[in-house]
Amino acid sequence: MTTPSPATENEQANELDSALVTARRQLERAATHVDVDPGVVERLKHPTRVQQVSVPLEREDGDIEVFTGYRAQHDDVRGPYKGGLRYHPEVTAEECTGLSMWMTWKCAVMNLPFGGGKGGIAVDPKSLTEDETERLTRRFAEELRDAVGPTKDVPAPDMGTDAQTMAWFMDAYSMQQGETIPGVVTGKPPVIGGSYGREEAPGRSTAIATREAIQYYEREISETTVAVQGFGSVGANAARLLEEWGATVVAVSDVNGAVYDPDGIDVDLIPSHDEEPEAVTSFANELDDGDGVRRLSNAELLELDADVLIPAAVGNVITAENADAIAADIVVEGANGPTTFAADTILEERGVPVIPDILANAGGVTVSYFEWLQDINRRQWSLERVNDELEEHMLDAWGDVRAEVDAAGLTWRDAAYVVALSRIAEAKETRGLWP
């Protein structure tokens, strides 16, 4: 094992690159491992289009405020653009473009017939009343109406948006089109064409990727300890499933801190972020300090000596600063972008495998695909069928990525990008460039 040289100050300053810089760098890196026409790579560096719209809103006091909305459509060679709509003050055209590229790779590695899209409105959703959010969403749907549709571009919930937002978006779009078109968005409530199992899907796929990684590295799940950062939709569902499958979850956290019990935490006793925000910390406060139970910071959780670490809260938590101190043997990315580029290099040099986000948490977009199929066919699937098909899709994608790891000795991240780029490039070369 080599000792990595510490990152220079300059490297650290540049560490938190934008989504666009990261997405382009991953593309260039993957291109060095794939026999691909440079023209195709050049085309993939640029989005097909990025639409900017003004979204006027009448506030509760009668004032008019105009917000800026975006929809970036990166590539649709394999099918309609697919990706979230976020409501966040820092939404920009560049961020949407970078995230739309990530969605292109994620859909391709999962072999879904979609390309990548992402959009949103630069607004703080907490500053809006429910009625204002509804009016803003309906107007946004109207402004994007020509750009979206079940065969063109299919948005989904993201930061600051949820199933209700998608219901308003779908309703506004359908009213204007003159017919009910549930397939225009995914992540809707099941009563209007949403899919059972969509909410738990990213956590379920993260758990499946973890289970497969444990098996790949010839360990027993019943003898595996897991630390999970973040106890939300992804973290809580992953932790609960892994516990059900026999793993020992030794630490979980929310934004305020972590709880650690070397004998294992009964994660079913802790409400998830959705059920009750910040319940991990209140659960931790009620525990006795005996028998090795300890309260930790989020930083300490990341450095715990557990077999598997699942960062499932926010991006950029494993950096050049702490990558040397990560003691887990395997990292599985439940969150999007939890490992910076510099940290990734350090972990690679240290021989710590990192199962990348575009594979591990892709259950969300995969069940979105199932939802789209159910909407088009007007036939709802049972939860059991959704979970069975998700398992099948995950195992197929895992097998495809594993084959690249085994054949070319690539990291799991590079292998996932190689699988994705090969599929996109083959589709582009087969369709050709018109005119």
Q: Which is nearer to ligand NAD, 187 or 425 (CB)?
A: 187
SS3 category, 178: coil
Pick one of 231, 260, 369, 372: the residue that binds ligand NAD (CB under 6 A). Answer: 231
Residue nearest to ligand NAD according to CB distances in the complex: 232
254 lies in the site for ligand NAD, by CB under 6 A: yes
Calculate the CA 3 to chain-centre distance.
Answer: 31
Distance set, CA 311 to CA 210, 240, 336, 352, 424 (Å): 12, 15, 9, 14, 28
Catalytic residue, chosen from 106, 118, 188, 428, is: 118
- 273 part of the interface to ligand NAD, by CB under 6 A: yes
Instruction: Identify residues 143-182 at the interface with ligand NAD (CB under 6 A).
Output: none
Return d(Cα 330, Cα 210) in angstroms, integer. 9
298/374 with CB nearer ligand NAD: 298
Of 25, 428, 369, 321, which is closest to residue 197 (Cα–Cα)?
369
Residues in binding contact with ligand NAD, number by CB under 6 A: 23
Nearer to ligand NAD, 338 or 422 (CB): 338
The reply on whether position 361 binds ligand NAD by CB under 6 A is: yes
Min dist CB 169 to ligand NAD, Å, is 16
Residue that has been written with the tokens 């803003």 in this structure = 136
Nearer to ligand NAD (CB atom), residue 22 or residue 422? 22
* Segment contacting ligand NAD by CB under 6 A, of 112-120, 228-236, 322-330, 394-402: 228-236
CB 317, CB 16: distance < 8 Å? no
d(CA 316, CA 102) in angstroms, rounded, equals 16
Tell me how far, at minimum, the Cβ of 198 lies from ligand NAD, in Å: 8
Choose among 95, 205, 231: nearest CA to 158. 95
Distance in Å, CB of 2 to ligand NAD, minimum:
30
Question: Min. distance of Cβ 389 from ligand NAD in angstroms?
Answer: 17
Smallest gap from Cβ 352 to ligand NAD, in A, equals 20
The CA distances from residue 200 to 121, 233, 239, 246, 290, in Å, are: 25, 6, 11, 19, 33
* 100 touching ligand NAD, by CB under 6 A: no
Cis peptide before 435 (omega within 30 of 0): yes
Question: Which residues does 161 contact at the CB level (< 8 Å), separation at least 6?
Answer: 84, 85, 86, 87, 120, 125, 137
3-state secondary structure of 339: strand
Question: How big is the CA angle at 57 (ends 54 and 58), to the nearest 5 degrees?
Answer: 150
Interatomic CA distance for residues 329 and 353, integer angstroms: 7
**Active-site residue 118, yes or no?**
yes
- Site for ligand NAD (CB under 6 A): which residue of 195, 253, 339, 374? 253
Spell out, one character per residue from 322 to 351, where the chain touches ligand NAD: x when CB under 6 A holds, - when not: ------------xxx---------------
Least distance CB 231 / ligand NAD (angstroms): 4
Under rule CB under 6 A, residue 364 binds ligand NAD: yes
Burial 383-402 (b: 16+ CB within 10 A, else e): eeebbebbeebbeebbebbb
DSSP-assigned letter for residue 149 = B
> Nearer to ligand NAD by C-beta: 100 or 229?
229
Interface with ligand NAD, residue 233, by CB under 6 A: yes
Residue 68's DSSP bridge partners are 54
73/298 with CB nearer ligand NAD: 298
Cβ 37 to ligand NAD, closest distance in Å?
31
**Which 307-326 residues touch ligand NAD, going by CB under 6 A?**
312-315
Return the number of other C-beta atoms located less than 10 Å from residue 3's C-beta.
Answer: 9
Q: Does 186 bind ligand NAD (CB under 6 A)?
A: no
- Measured CA to CA, the distance from residue 65 to residue 168 in angstroms comes to 20
Site membership for ligand NAD, residue 247 (CB under 6 A): no
Type of residue numbered 340? T
- Residues of this chain that interact with ligand NAD (CB under 6 A) are 202, 229-235, 253-255, 273-274, 298, 312-315, 334-336, 361, 364
Catalytically active residues are 118
